[in-house]
């Protein structure tokens, strides 16, 4: 069961953006720099190193932490929230949980500030090593969300948040998490809907306040204002929005919905912006399945003191611009044999996992997932672990043995956007027969799209994808060629159809469908590769 073949593929298991050199010898890179579901990026610098985090919503552990030396090549080094005490997700709805973090470095300490919309509200955690461990949350009694943290030159600390009317600035005591003054509305933005995602920067005697406007969809943008005083009034940049694809220049781009940005200054004095955007399945198709991803653009400060993003406020997949000295990262293996004592950082659970339902030591070389009574249709801690789909063109495969207690037990692979929109390639027992099924769940619609006799409790499962469709395969015995079960449109797992703020995850799961759990699924291999 260890032999699963892929063709015309390039390994992309580690998150690392490629770079290129144009005819003039000028370094460049490819966007997105962190592909797949990685929205709301926030970045900081400590010496020559950069660190970045993104929103994780109902997935656990929470808030991935990435490291880079050049802002182009990124490696995940951990998560901020790894303990249940830090991240209670019980009852978290799809796209609930953690919204819009900010990551900052101040006086030798790293700070992550965020909002758990499911419970607790605003908080911050600290660490001296961004790889962790991080402290338990200190809860902050501010009702508005999307918090940023800012230290003024006199040592005062402020939270900058999104309220109903616009952006608020509130002084905070970090020792207690309590406000030391009122929440003050300082700027409503330029008039776009949902002014959010605020960040404040101090430069050349001004407070620069950057925010997202237009909603995190196709009209998204980044705008900026400035003031001599932190509480305003803020003057709007005459070139707003400074970043958007909701115009003629950006309307045909493969990248849409750019906004929710953060800026950082490198040690050489150059400025850079990270921001979210999403790649549509094809120009003018207006569907995206990968979620909102992390992009990068250079920032200049021409005469007049306003930031200019990549010249005209738009970006491309190929960025032929000068970069920092590049530090390419070694790629991690595309094959997961489950021989290590823990899963890689790219793996995520849905909500707080029942840890006893997972083991890498029960049978050496296998990931054992014990079925829970919960199903993928429920906003519960189903027995599931998955990783992001990072490209449209990919192939994923897993080898599975199911020790089923009853015909209600199942296990397999899933492509899941949320608990009401997923495609499942699964193995279950029906009478004396082992069956492989392709099941569709789209809102209130659920049906078996295809079914075949598997022949035994051991199968190899495979999913291939491109921008428009997913294809599903199985092989019933060692060395047996794959049989295609069916093809399904990607659009029904898109954000435009399924809703929410996440992207498609490729998961391994086991469920007893409401009956007492206990059956065991053993996975002895997982592969994920993307085509060039």
Domains and CATH numbers, the chain: 34-319 (2.115.10.20), 335-531 (2.60.120.200)
- Residue 146 Cα to chain centre, angstroms: 16
d(CA 174, CA 172): 6
pLDDT for res 7: 33
Say yes or no to pLDDT of 469 above 50.
yes
User: Model confidence over 380-424: pLDDT tens digits?
Assistant: 999 999 999 999 999 999 999 999 888 889 999 999 999 999 999
**Residue 196 designated active-site:** yes
Say yes or no to pLDDT of 4 above 80.
no
Average pLDDT of 318-335? 88
Closest by CA to 241, choosing from 272, 201, 214, 280, is: 214
pLDDT for res 85: 95
Given pLDDT bands bounded at 50, 70 and 90, which one contains residue 103?
very high
Average pLDDT of 131-153? 95
pLDDT for res 334: 72
Report the percent of the chain where pLDDT is more than 70. Answer: 95
d(CA 99, CA 187): 21
pLDDT for res 532: 67
Say yes or no to pLDDT of 26 above 60.
no
CA atoms within 13 A on the CB side of 480: 19
Given pLDDT bands bounded at 50, 70 and 90, which one contains residue 18?
very low
What pTM was estimated for this model as a whole? 0.94
Which DSSP state fits 133?
P
- Sequence-distant (≥ 6) Cβ neighbours of residue 248 within 8 angstroms: none
Of the listed ranges 116-125, 202-211, 283-292, the least confidently predicted one is 283-292
Report the chain's mean pLDDT, rounded to a whole number.
92
Given pLDDT bands bounded at 50, 70 and 90, which one contains residue 478?
low
Give just the sign of the alpha carbon dihedral 336, 339, 344, 348.
positive
Closest by CA to 384, choosing from 59, 98, 63, is: 59
Q: Which of 146, 148, 196, 524 is catalytic?
A: 196
**Residue 40 designated active-site:** yes
pLDDT for res 487: 98
d(CA 141, CA 503): 31
d(CA 292, CA 220): 12
């Amino acid at each position: 069961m260890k032999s699963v073949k892929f063709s015309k593929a390039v390994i992309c298991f580690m998150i690392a953006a490629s770079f290129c050199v144009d005819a003039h010898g000028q370094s460049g890179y490819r966007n997105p720099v962190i592909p797949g579901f990685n929205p709301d990026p926030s970045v900081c610098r400590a010496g020559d190193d950069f660190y970045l985090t993104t929103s994780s919503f109902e997935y656990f552990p929470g808030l991935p932490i990435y490291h880079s030396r050049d802002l182009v090549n990124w490696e995940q080094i951990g998560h901020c929230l790894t303990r249940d005490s830090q991240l209670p997700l019980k009852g978290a709805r799809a796209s609930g949980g953690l919204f819009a973090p900010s990551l900052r470095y101040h006086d030798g300490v790293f700070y992550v500030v965020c909002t758990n919309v499911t419970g607790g509200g605003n908080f911050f955690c600290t660490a001296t090593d961004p790889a962790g461990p991080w402290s338990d949350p200190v809860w902050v009694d501010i009702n508005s969300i999307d918090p940023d943290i800012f230290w003024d030159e006199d040592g005062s600390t402020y939270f900058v948040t999104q309220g109903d009317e616009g952006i608020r600035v509130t002084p905070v005591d970090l020792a207690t998490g309590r406000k030391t003054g009122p929440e003050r509305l300082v700027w409503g933005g330029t008039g776009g809907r949902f002014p959010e995602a605020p960040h404040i920067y101090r430069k050349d005697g001004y407070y620069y306040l950057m925010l997202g406007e237009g909603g995190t969809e196709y009209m998204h943008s980044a705008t900026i204002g400035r003031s001599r005083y932190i509480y305003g009034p803020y003057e709007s940049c005459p070139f707003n929005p400074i970043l958007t694809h909701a115009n003629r220049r950006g309307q045909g781009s493969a990248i849409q919905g750019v906004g929710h940005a953060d800026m950082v200054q490198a040690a050489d004095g150059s400025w850079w912006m990270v921001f979210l955007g999403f790649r549509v399945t094809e120009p003018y198709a207006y569907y995206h399945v990968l979620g909102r991803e992390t992009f990068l653009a250079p920032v200049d400060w021409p005469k007049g003191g306003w930031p200019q993003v990549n010249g005209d406020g738009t970006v491309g997949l190929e960025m032929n611009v000068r970069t920092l000295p590049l530090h390419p990262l070694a790629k991690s293996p595309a094959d997961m044999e489950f021989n290590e004592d823990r899963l890689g950082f790219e793996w995520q659970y849905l909500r707080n996992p029942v840890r006893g339902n997972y083991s890498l030591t029960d049978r050496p070389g296998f990931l054992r997932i014990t079925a829970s009574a919960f199903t993928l249709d429920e906003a519960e801690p189903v027995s599931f672990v998955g990783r992001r789909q990072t490209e449209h063109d990919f192939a994923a495969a897993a080898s599975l043995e199911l020790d089923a207690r009853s015909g209600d037990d199942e296990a397999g692979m899933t492509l899941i956007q949320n608990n009401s929109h997923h495609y499942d390639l699964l193995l279950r027992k029906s009478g004396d027969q082992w069956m492989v099924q392709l099941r569709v769940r789209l809102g209130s619609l659920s049906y078996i799209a295809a079914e075949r006799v598997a022949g035994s409790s051991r199968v190899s499962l495979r999913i291939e994808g491109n921008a428009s469709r997913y294809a599903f395969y199985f092989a019933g015995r060692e060395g047996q060629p794959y049989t295609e079960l069916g093809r399904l449109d990607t659009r029904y797992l898109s954000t435009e159809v399924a809703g929410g703020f996440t992207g498609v995850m490729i998961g391994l799961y086991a469920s007893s469908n409401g009956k007492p759990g206990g059956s065991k699924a053993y996975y002895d291999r997982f592969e994920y590769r993307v085509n060039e």
